[in-house]
């Protein structure tokens, strides 16, 4: 599921009409690191990490074309986990998408959010420049508690929206205000993404994980999202605390 969600996020570029409306398409490239758990729930479970890049084009009817343009061999977080895999007889890694694979999503299938509710191209371009309205739209009917979970969910939704959505500057500014005003969000020093772009990290912490968002505050842009686990988890066997389990870096579109 994480891999599928990651393909739906990126740095969107759209063509504006003269009156300020978006006519599309939205295009972006995402470089992603994602975790896949093999033999989940068993004593022989282990976690495999993979890298992949995808170029995505989204049309105004919310159809999309996704092209896999780069992959890296699967691997492990540390040597100990690799040795466990070897001792288990080197079982086959999970099936992955290969370079050159094309994925087509029919009209209405694409969402500009990683989690529910679904947000179409037309709904994105109709967003009001209001932080409160934007938070309500991306939250939907999600019954979340405690407060840290709510902030984490909203941060993931709003940050993804900012990275993907073909919106005008007033909506972008409102989304930025919604993001930086979330309960528990805080600065966590500067940093760089895998493309070498510098920015400022902002973070949301829960009892089990941390969401880090690399931003360009001057331009009010989201460059990268990373999710880390803060303690060993049965959900990710063999992965030590502090490890990144999901990372999306958002780059300008380049064709597959």
pLDDT for residue 20: 52
Element (H, E) at 30: strand 26-38
Per-residue pLDDT tens over the stretch 144-165: 777 778 999 999 999 999 998 9
Between the alpha carbon of residue 161 and those of residues 74, 84, 87, 100, 176, the distances in Å are 29, 39, 43, 27, 10
pLDDT surpasses 80 at 28: yes
Q: Is the pLDDT of residue 69 over 50?
A: yes
Model pTM above 0.75: yes
Q: How far is CA 64 from the centre of its chain?
A: 17
pLDDT at 5: 40
In the chain, what percentage of residues exceed pLDDT 70?
A: 90
Write out pLDDT tens, residues 183-205.
999 999 888 888 889 999 999 99
- pLDDT greater at residue 13 or residue 47: 47
Tokens of 38: 């093999």
- Whether cis (ω within 30° of 0) applies to the bond prior to 25 is yes
Residue 133 φ/ψ region, left for φ over 0, alpha for ψ in the -120 to 50 degree band, beta for the rest? alpha
């Amino acid at each position: 599921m994480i891999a599928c969600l990651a393909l739906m996020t990126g740095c969107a570029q759209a063509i504006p009409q003269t009156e300020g409306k978006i006519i599309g398409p939205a295009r972006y490239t995402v470089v992603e690191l994602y975790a896949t758990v093999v033999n989940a729930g068993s004593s022989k479970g282990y976690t495999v990490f993979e890298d992949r890049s995808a170029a995505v084009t989204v049309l105004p009817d919310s159809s999309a074309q996704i092209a896999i343009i780069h992959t890296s061999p699967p691997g492990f977080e540390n040597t100990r986990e690799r040795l466990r895999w070897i001792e288990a007889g080197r079982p086959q890694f999970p099936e992955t998408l290969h370079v050159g694979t094309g994925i087509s999503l029919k009209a209405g299938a694409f969402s500009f959010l990683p989690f529910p509710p679904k947000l179409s191209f037309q709904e994105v371009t109709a967003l009001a420049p209001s932080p409160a309205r934007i938070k309500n739209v991306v939250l939907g009917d999600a019954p979340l508690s405690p407060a840290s979970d709510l902030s984490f969910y909203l941060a993931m939704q709003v940050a993804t929206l900012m990275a993907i959505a073909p919106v005008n500057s007033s909506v972008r500014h409102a989304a930025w205000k919604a993001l930086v005003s979330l309960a528990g969000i805080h600065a966590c020093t500067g940093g760089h993404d895998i493309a070498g772009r510098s920015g400022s990290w902002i973070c949301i912490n829960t009892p089990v994980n941390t969401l880090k968002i690399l931003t360009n505050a001057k331009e009010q842009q989201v460059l990268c999202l990373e999710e880390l686990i803060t303690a060993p988890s049965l959900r990710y066997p063999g992965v030590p605390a502090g490890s990144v389990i999901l990372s999306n870096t958002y780059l300008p579109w380049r064709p597959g």
